[in-house]
Amino acid sequence: MPFSGMDPNAITDPKLRQQYLDKIAENQKKIANCNREIEMRHDLQNIDGDFQVYIDNAYGRTPEERADALNTAKEAGASVEMRKEIAAEMQ
C-alpha cells in the first residue's frame, strides 16, 4: 500500500502505481489552482489601491464627478469597501 511522499517507482504493482501517479497529478492541479486563487486575491487588493489613486487623480469633487467616479468604480469591479472609501474621500 503506497503512502504519502512515497517514490512511485517503489510501487511494484503497475495498476496501483498508476493510480498513485494520477493522485499526485490531481493534487498538483489542486495546489496550482489554490496558488492561482491566492495570487488573484493579492492582485485584487493591489487593484483596489491602484484604482483609488486613479480615481483621486481623474475626478474632481463636484456631485456629478463623484457620481461618475462611483459608477466607474462599480463597473470596474471595485469592492464595496473601496467604493465607500472613494465616496468618503470625495466629500
Whether 54 is in a domain gets the answer: yes
2 band by pLDDT with thresholds 50, 70 and 90:
low
> By residue range, what is the domain housing residue 38?
13-89
Answer yes or no: is 3 within a domain.
Answer: no
Domain assignment of residue 81, yes or no: yes
Q: Has residue 73 been placed in a domain? A: yes
Residue 72, CA distances (Å) to 24, 34, 40, 44 in order: 44, 30, 21, 16
In a domain, 69, yes or no: yes
Under the banding of pLDDT at 50, 70 and 90, the label for residue 7 is very high
**Tell me, what's the pLDDT at 73?**
83
The span from the CA of 69 to the CA of 61, in Å, is 10
Residue 8 lies in a domain: no
The pLDDT, as a whole number, for residue 48 is 65
Alpha helices by DSSP H, listed for 8-79, are: 14-58, 63-75
Mean pLDDT of the chain: 82
Q: Give residue-wise pLDDT tens across range 16-47.
A: 999 999 999 999 999 998 888 888 777 766 76
Q: Name the residue with higher pLDDT: 5 or 22.
A: 22
Q: How much is the pLDDT for 89?
A: 77
Does residue 75 sit within a domain? yes
- Total domains in the chain come to 1
